Every structure is written in structure tokens, then in C-alpha cells.
Amino acid sequence: MPDNITREVAEAHWSKTKKLMVTTLAIWFFFGFFIHFFVSSLNNIVILGFPLGFYMAAQGSLIVFVVLIFWFASRQNTIDEEFGVAED
């Protein structure tokens, strides 16, 4: 813990960071596992000639993961700036 913040501020920072982490893991779980359980059902929906289940399994999850990484980094930086512990 940096010397310039109090214990209360550090706990508030960790609380927000933990909430962000749980949210990110829930989104990751949903697109990493939950969607793939329903690939057969999703294949009944066709978008641009490709079954939705195939698209979500092959490309959609990867796209979501990349966007999730950038969203997490941006949101974490905002939290760090809010509590005065951002990196320069």
C-alpha cells in the first residue's frame, strides 16, 4: 500500500477493484463456457450464412475476450485514478 493513502481509502479501492474483477470473471465465464453449452440450439439462428452457435464458438467469444481485456484495463485505470494510486 502506498504511503499517501489511508487504510479506509485502500479498502474502498480494493472493494471497487474486487467488484470489477468479479464482473469481468462473470462475463468471461458466460462467453467462455455458458454460450458453448447451447451451441446446438444457437445453430438454428443463421446470420450472414453462418450458424450463430458456430460463430460464437469460433469467433464471437474471442472478440468478446479481447474487448473485455481493454474494458477491464480502462475501468481499472479509472478506479486507480479515483483513489490516487494510478501509475504515471
Average pLDDT, the chain: 89
Residues 6+ apart with CB under 8 A from 31: 56, 60, 61, 64, 65, 68
pLDDT tens digits for 17-70? 999 999 999 999 998 888 788 888 888 998 888 888 888 777 888 999 999 999
The answer on pLDDT for 11 being more than 90 is yes
The answer on pLDDT for 3 being more than 90 is no
Inter-residue contact 82 to 8 (CB < 8 Å) = no
Give the dihedral sign, CA 19/25/50/40.
negative
pLDDT tens digits for 59-77? 888 999 999 999 999 999 9
Give the dihedral sign, CA 27/25/63/44.
negative
pLDDT of 2 reads: 61
Supply 67's cell numbers: 474487448
How far, in Å, CA of 36 to CA of 22, rounded?
A: 21
pLDDT of 14 reads: 96
**Under DSSP, is residue 46 helix (H, G, I), strand (E, B) or coil?**
strand
